[in-house]
């Protein structure tokens, strides 16, 4: 079985391609649970409730002349469709995505390293648009 690296990763937000400067991309999902233990139950048991999905990434900061489109696309509070493909966007490859709001933006300008922007994308819809497994480009 072939192993994958992030070298073919494609990420876009609101139609702006972020792939060229992305260093890291994470999509944590969580299934929330409610305690359904009652009466004489000998073990705690739980039922599923709602799910949470968000994404985070770290982008290299480009100078203003070459990075204007990216800078405009990733302002905090911006809402758009976040799309990703671990294996790129070739036909038949898995596609993930959801309507998202940029809920956090952290800019770092170190003296002796590259400048980066760390972003958090929070789900703004009631479901994912593309599940990253059965949804394909």
Query: What pLDDT was estimated at residue 107?
Result: 92
Chain segment 102-135, per-residue pLDDT in tens: 999 999 999 999 999 999 999 999 999 999 999 9
> For the chain, first and last CA: distance in Å?
22
Q: Which residue has the tokens 């233990």?
A: 37
- For 132, counting Cβ atoms within 10 Å of its Cβ (0-12 exposed, 13-18 middle, 19+ buried), the class is middle
The C-alpha atoms of residue 27 and residue 137 are separated, in whole angstroms, by 18
Domains in the chain, start-ordered, CATH in brackets?
Answer: 6-30+47-136 (2.40.10)
Q: Which residue has the higher pLDDT, 72 or 48?
A: 48
Q: What is the mean pLDDT of residues 8-37?
A: 95
> Cα angle at 29 between 98 and 20, to 5 degrees?
55
Chain segment 72-110, per-residue pLDDT in tens: 899 999 999 999 999 999 999 999 999 999 999 999 999
């Amino acid at each position: 079985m072939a192993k994958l690296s992030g070298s073919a990763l494609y990420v876009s937000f609101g139609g702006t391609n972020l792939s060229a400067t992305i260093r890291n991309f994470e999509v944590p999902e969580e299934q929330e649970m409610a305690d359904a233990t009652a009466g004489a139950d000998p073990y705690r048991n739980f039922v599923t409730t709602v799910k949470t999905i968000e994404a985070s990434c770290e982008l290299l900061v480009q100078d203003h002349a070459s990075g204007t489109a990216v800078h405009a696309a990733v302002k905090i509070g911006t809402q758009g469709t976040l799309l990703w493909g671990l294996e790129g966007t070739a036909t038949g490859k898995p596609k993930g995505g959801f309507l998202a709001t940029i809920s956090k933006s952290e800019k770092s300008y170190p003296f002796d390293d590259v400048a980066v922007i760390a972003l958090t994308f929070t789900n703004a819809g009631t479901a994912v648009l593309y599940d990253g497994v059965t949804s394909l480009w």
